[in-house]
Copies of this chain bind each other. A is one copy, B any other.
Amino acid sequence: MSLMERKTAEKKNKILNSALIVLAEKGYHGTTMEDIANHLLMTKGSLYYYFKGKQDLVFQSQIRILHQSMENVKAVNQEDLTIEEKLKRVIIKHIDYSLTEKAGFLLMINPAEIFSKEQLTEIYRLREAYAACYDKLIAAGVEAGFFDVEHIPVARNVLLGAMNWVTQWYSPEGALSKTAFAQLVTDYTIRIVKK
């Protein structure tokens, strides 16, 4: 990557970051391109130098989050832990990350309302890949006798629901730190698959 390309990539990243922050506050439809630009001390028009439009900008922010989520899982998978510990760590990381990137996760909720067909295809592809990681862990846990799950996809979706909902009710004003909180939530969540 040349110097210029790197600079552009960096700028794009900065924009995506700002976008995520503003989107977190106001939601997709409540956020205007001007809002995002203002947050960056830029002008509306400049955004179009880096992204094709609002949809594109938001889509890319979405993709980034999905990729990062995947990385999180992969990182845990390479640690030397029991299956159960692995799943717990994955859940904790997911919750932690979802609270950090609250914005992006909120957009995940109704993508069909926002994105184009092609974009949705890509999003669903990544989601499924992510879900597959959980399925594999659960299946391994069942094999190893740690878990007791007959319908893995159902259980996995219940699991993901319990996790994703956290963005709806976690309040940073609470007594617990984000990580302690995530730990606590995980304890209850893991029960969904436990023997």
Chain A residues at the B interface, C-beta cutoff of 8 Å: 26-30, 106, 109-110, 113, 149, 151, 154-155, 157-166, 168-169, 184-185, 188-189, 191-194
Q: Which of B110, B163, B194 contacts A161 (CB 8 A)?
A: B163
Task: For the A-B complex with A161-B161, A191-B192 known, give 4 more contacts whose Cβ atoms are closer than 8 Å.
Answer: A109-B110, A151-B188, A157-B166, A189-B192
A51 to B110, CA, bound (A): 26
The complex is assembled from copies of this chain, and their number is 4
Known contacts A154-B188, A188-B154, A192-B191; decide if A26 and B113 are in contact (CB<8 Å). Answer: yes
A185 to B151, CA, bound (A): 10
Max chain B Cβ within 10 angstroms of own Cβ: one of A28, A106, A109, A162 = A162
CB-CB under 8 A from A166, the residues of chain B are: 157, 161
Residues A165 and B168 in contact, CB atoms below 8 Å apart: no
A109 to B189, CA, bound (A): 20
Residues A192 and B29 in contact, CB atoms below 8 Å apart: no
